[in-house]
Amino acid sequence: MKAYIAFLRSINVSGHHIIKMLDLKGMLSRPEFINLTTYLQSGNLIFESEIGNPETLENLITEIIKDHYGYDIKVKIYDALAFKNSFLKNPFLQSEKVDIKKLYYVHVLGEADQKIFETIKQNRNFQEEMFLIDNTIYVNYVNGYGRSKVTGKFFEKNLKRHVTARNHNTMKNLFEKLQNVRE
Buried-state track 123-152, b at ≥16 Cβ within 10 A, e below 16: eeeeebbbebeebbbbbbbeeebeebebbb
Judge whether residue 123 has pLDDT over 80.
no
User: Which residue in 51, 170, 52 sits closest to 106, CA to CA?
Assistant: 170
Share above pLDDT 70 across residues of the chain, in percent, rounded to a whole number: 95
Helices (H) and strands (E) in the chain, counts: 6, 8
**pLDDT mean across residues, the chain:** 90
Q: What is the mean pLDDT of residues 68-95?
A: 93
Residues 77, 4 contacting (CB under 8 angstroms): yes
Provide the whole-model pTM. Answer: 0.91
pLDDT-based confidence at residue 20 (cuts at 50, 70, 90): confident
User: Which residue in 129, 147, 140, 149 sits closest to 167, CA to CA?
Assistant: 140
Judge whether residue 77 has pLDDT over 80.
yes
pLDDT-based confidence at residue 39 (cuts at 50, 70, 90): confident
How many other CB atoms sit within 10 Å of the CB of residue 165? 18
Q: What is the mean pLDDT of residues 130-154?
A: 93
- Residue 37, class by beta-carbon neighbours within 10 Å (0-12 exposed, 13-18 middle, 19+ buried)? exposed
Q: What is the mean pLDDT of residues 151-170?
A: 94
Judge whether residue 12 has pLDDT over 70.
no
pLDDT, residue 175, reads: 94
Q: What is the mean pLDDT of residues 139-155?
A: 92
- Residue 33, class by beta-carbon neighbours within 10 Å (0-12 exposed, 13-18 middle, 19+ buried)? buried
Look at 123 and 80; give whichever has higher pLDDT: 80
DSSP helix, strand, coil percent of the chain (3-state; round to 5): 40, 25, 35
